[in-house]
Amino acid sequence: GAVVSQHPSRVICKSGTSVKIECRSLDFQATTMFWYRQFPKQSLMLMATSNEGSKATYEQGVEKDKFLINHASLTLSTLTVTSAHPEDSSFYICSALSLAGDWPDYNEQFFGPGTRLTVL
């Protein structure tokens, strides 16, 4: 249980196009989802916190107009990289937090498998 999926797992796109990445909690409801970016051989950098039904909260230095986040339901959040450029190439990982008091453990984030974005 407590599975988080991401789609697609890999995507290659041309510079200037937009790419949408989906994050789904498959067997639990997630009021909050997080989006991270990971550079090669580096740690995860939190990009934004996504709450169902409200605007995402972006970390300092993350362009909200470039990385559009929509938390449409309690099981789905999407990250759209708009007008992608080669420097946006990275590994994007989402995680989901369960509703308070519900299974699974409220105080634990469950991570998706990641999406490898390559912008040519």
Partner 1 sequence: GNSVTQMEGPVTLSEEAFLTINCTYTATGYPSLFWYVQYPGEGLQLLLKATKADDKGSNKGFEATYRKETTSFHLEKGSVQVSDSAVYFCALSGGTGNQFYFGTGTSLTVIP
Residues that bind partner 1 (CB under 8 A): 6, 32, 34, 41-44, 46, 49, 51, 57, 93, 95, 97, 107-114, 116
CB of 106 to partner 1, least distance (A): 8
CB of 94 to partner 1, least distance (A): 9
Residue among 20 and 116 whose Cβ is closer to partner 1: 116
Residue among 40 and 86 whose Cβ is closer to partner 1: 40
User: Are residues 82 and 65 in contact, defined by beta-carbon separation less than 8 angstroms?
Assistant: yes
Helix, strand, or coil here: 117? Answer: strand
- At position 60, the amino acid (one-letter code) is Q
Q: What angle do CA 118, 119, 120 make, to 5 degrees?
A: 115
Residue among 44 and 62 whose Cβ is closer to partner 1: 44
How far is C-alpha 3 from the geometric centre of its chain's CA atoms? Answer: 14
